């Protein structure tokens, strides 16, 4: 991966990784995640925090801002993840 402007392929890979974070956050919040059976509550919260942080960092990138991709799922996952960790 380049430290300059990422290629279209690299941007697609970023969005795929972000989609994985969204899926993990949403599954965990819905109590439908393997993590809930293999980790204690604190470990799950760390995992959710790591994934919401990943989404937030990516949202600051120029390629993300410039993208015409619908960003609703990312924003919703961040909000849901933060609420889950705060509970």
pTM, to two decimals: 0.88
DSSP letter, residue 31: T
pLDDT digits (tens, 9 = 90+) for 30-42: 986 777 788 888 9
How high is the pLDDT of residue 2? 47
Identify whether the C-beta of residue 59 lies closer than 8 Å to the C-beta of residue 74. yes
CA angle (69 as vertex; 50, 18 as ends), nearest 5: 20
Q: Tell me what the mean pLDDT of segment 3-28 comes to.
A: 93
């Amino acid at each position: 991966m380049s430290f300059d402007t990422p290629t279209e392929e690299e941007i697609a890979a970023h969005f795929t990784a972000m989609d994985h974070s969204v899926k993990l956050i949403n599954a965990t919040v819905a109590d439908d995640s393997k993590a809930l059976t293999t980790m204690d509550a604190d470990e799950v919260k760390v995992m959710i925090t790591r994934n919401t942080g990943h989404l937030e960092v990516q949202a600051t990138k120029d390629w993300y801002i410039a993208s015409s991709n619908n960003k609703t799922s990312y924003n919703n996952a961040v909000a849901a993840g933060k609420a889950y960790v705060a509970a």
